[in-house]
């Protein structure tokens, strides 16, 4: 079997995704320079792949390039609309453009279409949907009490855990003081989504890094401590999981549908 240059690019992408996930968990940001080594390694491999494919079958090569471009533009638009973070957008765009096909036959070879990004995205979404279950089980193990929906999205932390950098996420509660009494309520899903789109979510990183700017917010949080935060699992983690599962296993959803 001829060597597929996409294999080298896949290794570079996989290693970069794992490293970017670690950065996003630890610092909640992934510098743009994180992707440079991957691009240097993977881009020439993808170019060589397309050159070989165009020589063998220009029609297939053109369609694959077109579909990859459409997917990449869609992911970019999601980022412009604020529906995904910058690191998530870059990861999806780079995977789509640099790894359009499976670099080697996966375990479910007969049930995997040739376009790699589609099943990868499906697996990433499935992993993202399973994250709330993991958070809920963690809360049960810790004995955390509260409404079901908040326990699927986050957990309570003290003000000290926020300022010391031991808690990562965004504040889930609307906290105020009325007649000397602390009043609080959970933001609805629509309010939380709107705040994400508008960029007005209050993140623990901002509170920790710029306490002067958020003096009033910190005072409220200290008074109400503990407060609930959403862990806000960075989507790059499900992307990484989806990438690795798809690369090794193949398209599990297509396999299940075909079996039925």
What residues does each domain of the chain span?
6-131+235-259, 134-230
For 227, the token pair is 């407060």
Pairing of strands 227-230, 170-171: antiparallel
Q: What's the whole-number mean pLDDT along residues 91-110?
A: 90
**In the predicted model, is pLDDT for residue 19 greater than 70?**
yes
Give the pLDDT band of residue 15 (cuts 50, 70, 90): very high
Please say whether the dihedral angle defined by the alpha carbons of residues 20, 23, 25 and 28, taken in this order, is positive or negative: negative
Mean pLDDT of the chain: 88
Q: Which of 80, 62, 58, 81 is nearest to 70 (CA)?
A: 62
Output the pLDDT for position 132.
86
3-class secondary-structure state, position 156: strand
**In the predicted model, is pLDDT for residue 101 greater than 70?**
yes
Which of 129-138, 210-219, 237-246 has the highest average model confidence (pLDDT)?
A: 237-246
Give the pLDDT band of residue 2 (cuts 50, 70, 90): low
Q: Which of 229, 143, 214 is nearest to 184 (CA)?
A: 229
CA distance 233 to 237: 7
3-class secondary-structure state, position 158: coil
Q: What's the whole-number mean pLDDT along residues 187-202?
A: 79
Could you tell me which residue, 23 or 43, shows the higher pLDDT? 43
CA distance 223 to 95: 45
Could you tell me which residue, 112 or 133, shows the higher pLDDT? 133
Give the pLDDT band of residue 26 (cuts 50, 70, 90): confident
Output the pLDDT for position 231.
72
Residue 64 gets the label, from left (phi > 0), alpha (psi -120 to 50) or beta, of alpha
CA dihedral 8→44→99→241, nearest 10 degrees, is: 50
Residues 6+ apart with CB under 8 A from 231: 135, 153, 154, 155, 168, 169
Output the pLDDT for position 134.
85
Fold of 6-131+235-259: 1.20.120
For 144, the token pair is 């955390």
For 138, the token pair is 């963690």
Which of 38-52, 75-89, 225-239 has the highest average model confidence (pLDDT)?
A: 38-52
Q: What's the whole-number mean pLDDT along residues 138-144?
A: 90
């Amino acid at each position: 079997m001829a060597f597929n240059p996409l294999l080298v690019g896949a290794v570079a992408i996989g290693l970069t995704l794992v490293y970017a996930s670690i950065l996003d968990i630890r610092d909640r940001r992934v510098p743009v320079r994180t992707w440079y080594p991957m691009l240097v390694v993977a881009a020439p491999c993808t170019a060589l792949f397309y050159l070989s494919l165009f020589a063998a079958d220009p029609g297939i090569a053109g369609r694959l390039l077109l579909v990859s471009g459409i997917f990449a533009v869609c992911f970019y638009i999601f980022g412009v609309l604020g529906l995904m973070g910058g690191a998530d957008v870059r990861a999806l765009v780079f995977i789509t453009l640099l790894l359009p096909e499976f670099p080697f036959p996966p375990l479910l070879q007969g049930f995997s279409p040739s376009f790699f990004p589609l099943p990868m995205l499906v697996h990433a979404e499935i992993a993202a949907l399973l994250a709330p279950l993991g958070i809920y089980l963690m809360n049960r193990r810790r004995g955390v009490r509260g409404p079901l929906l908040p326990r699927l999205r986050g957990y309570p932390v003290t003000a000290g855990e926020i300022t010391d950098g031991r808690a990562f996420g965004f504040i889930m509660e609307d906290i105020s003081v009325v007649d000397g009494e602390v009043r609080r309520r959970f933001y609805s899903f629509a309010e939380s989504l709107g705040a994400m789109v508008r960029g007005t979510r209050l993140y623990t990183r901002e509170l920790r890094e710029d306490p002067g700017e958020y003096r009033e917010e910190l005072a409220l949080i200290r008074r109400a401590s503990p407060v609930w935060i959403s862990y806000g699992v960075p989507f790059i983690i499900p992307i990484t999981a989806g990438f690795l599962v798809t690369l090794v296993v193949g398209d599990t959803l297509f396999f299940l549908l075909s079996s039925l």
